[in-house]
Amino acid sequence: MGYVDEVIELVIKKNPAEPEFHQAVKEVLESLRPVVDANEEKFRREALLERIVEPDRQIKFRVPWVDDKGQVQVNTGYRVQFNNSIGPYKGGLRLHPSVNLGIIKFLGFEQIFKNSLTGLPIGGGKGGSDFDPKGKSDREVLAFCTSFITELYKYIGADVDVPAGDIGTGAREIGYMFGQFKKIKGTYEGVLTGKGLTYGGSLVRTEATGYGLLYLTEEMLKCNGLDIAGKTVVVSGSGNVAIYAIQKAHQLGAKVVTASDSNGWVYDADGIDVETLKEIKEVKRARLTEYVKYRPKAEYHEGRGVWNVKCDIALPCATQNELLLEDAKVLVENGCIAVAEGANMPTTLDATEYLLANGVLFAPGKAANAGGVATSALEMSQNSERLSWTFEEVDAKLKQIMVNIFHNMSNAAERYNAKGNYVVGANIAGFEKVATAMIAQGIW
């Protein structure tokens, strides 16, 4: 058995009941085979793969809070600090009932390579809780966030670990957490990113993941002789990533015809109206069923279905494992030319393989959605400098980072005889830098 297979087997044995973590490790390690094969003796002696799949530490804690009826509720909090060989741990906090240790580990593991790919000095981490902010009052969200940070503050800091938003964690939650950190610690530091603009947040952070996804998609198409203008796009999700992906796609001359949430999806032949979506999701925090009230010509459908709509480009922007093999087959049949992942691991392994085998350009999430964390790192830089850059400055830096990421992964794929396979390219490019840093820093 080869080194890669041995380590995958070890991960499954040591981390039972964590299927998403197994999936992420398998996807990354399998695409690293060419690099591992070329350095097997050295990597084995260093136990490099065994070290990289084991988090530096994982913190799990009780989060008690009082609801509006006076009842004490208890959630579980997590922070997995995966690898800080190239910079302080950096990664979001997910608040969703589906959160468990395996999900946080998969996200933290992916984050190592994504952060490395940005070219910025940030390590990999992820956290969150099984708390569901949906349907909670502002006071309940405040109570949860206060309790969550009252424990987590011990483990984070501007030079240690800098959490950010993710599913369920937006500017409101980050604000409540920042306030509590400041109160307990007595320091005003850039310990969280995604902050409000009046207290250290960066312009473009809200838009960054969606905009970055489109900058990378545009570059990928351009380098393959294609133009994004005039293309029909399907998007899943209607949260932070989806909204700004749709906005930028329209700015670049494409037309996005779908959006979805966990209950259903909308089809709008005239193009999804971003202002309506923002009103429903960001202001009212309502369900997507509302969309047709504003746009009567659009259609609302219960359940899944976005990938059945004929398109040139598909952008999964909701959650993990939302684009399955059967969906990939329909996309190919309908002539889809490109899939770029706005969400983390939205495409299953067999669906990814099918898309690649059928010549669909495929940009994996760790490259395509890295704009969010990259701009978070730019927020960290601004906080350290105690300066704020203009929208145009940050947006230009973001675009350059996404273009560089595309070329880094494309070049890495070519170097290892996998031209056009950006999954292999992204993993290799992200891994090489981290591996070099780990080896240089001795055994830890």
Residues contributing to the site for ligand NDP (CB under 6 A): 165-168, 209, 237-242, 261-263, 317-319, 342-344, 369, 372
Side-chain half-sphere CA neighbours of 66 within 13 A = 3
Beta strands in 304-395 (DSSP E): 313-316, 338-340, 361-363
Please report, in angstroms and rounded to a whole number, the separation of the first and last CA atoms in the chain.
26
**Nearest distance from residue 17's CB to ligand NDP, in Å?**
19
- CB-CB neighbours of 20 under 10 Å: 21
Q: Token digits for 167?
A: 């599913």
Q: Token digits for 76?
A: 């579980």
> Which residue, 8 or 366, has its beta carbon nearer to ligand NDP?
366
> Which residue, 20 or 218, has its beta carbon nearer to ligand NDP?
20
Cβ atoms 188, 222 nearer than 8 A = no
Residue among 105, 126, 195, 255 flagged as catalytic: 126
Q: Token digits for 423?
A: 């999954």
Q: Which of 242, 268, 245, 246 is nearest to 257 (CA)?
A: 268
**In Å, what is the CA distance from 26 to each residue of 20, 22, 109, 169?**
10, 6, 11, 28
* Alpha-carbon gap, residue 371 to 216, rounded angstroms: 9
Residue position matching structure tokens 């966030």: 145
362 burial class (0-12, 13-18, 19+ CB within 10 angstroms)?
buried
> Which residue, 18 or 166, has its beta carbon nearer to ligand NDP?
166
Q: Which of 323, 340, 315 is nearest to 258 (CA)?
A: 315
Name, in order, each residue with C-beta under 8 angstroms of 57's C-beta and a sequence gap of 6 or more: 80, 81
Length of the chain: 444
Largest CA distance in the chain: 64
> Which residue, 4 or 298, has its beta carbon nearer to ligand NDP?
298
Cβ atoms 248, 276 nearer than 8 A = no
Cβ atoms 216, 374 nearer than 8 A = no
**Nearest distance from residue 332's CB to ligand NDP, in Å?**
22
> Which residue, 22 or 281, has its beta carbon nearer to ligand NDP?
281
**Nearest distance from residue 443's CB to ligand NDP, in Å?**
32
Examine the residue annotation and report whether 126 is marked as an active-site residue of this protein.
yes
**Nearest distance from residue 204's CB to ligand NDP, in Å?**
11
Report the residue number whose CB is nearest to ligand NDP.
239
**Nearest distance from residue 42's CB to ligand NDP, in Å?**
33
**Nearest distance from residue 38's CB to ligand NDP, in Å?**
31
**Nearest distance from residue 218's CB to ligand NDP, in Å?**
18
Cβ atoms 317, 240 nearer than 8 A = no
> Which residue, 238 or 383, has its beta carbon nearer to ligand NDP?
238
> Which residue, 118 or 421, has its beta carbon nearer to ligand NDP?
118
Which positions are catalytic? 126
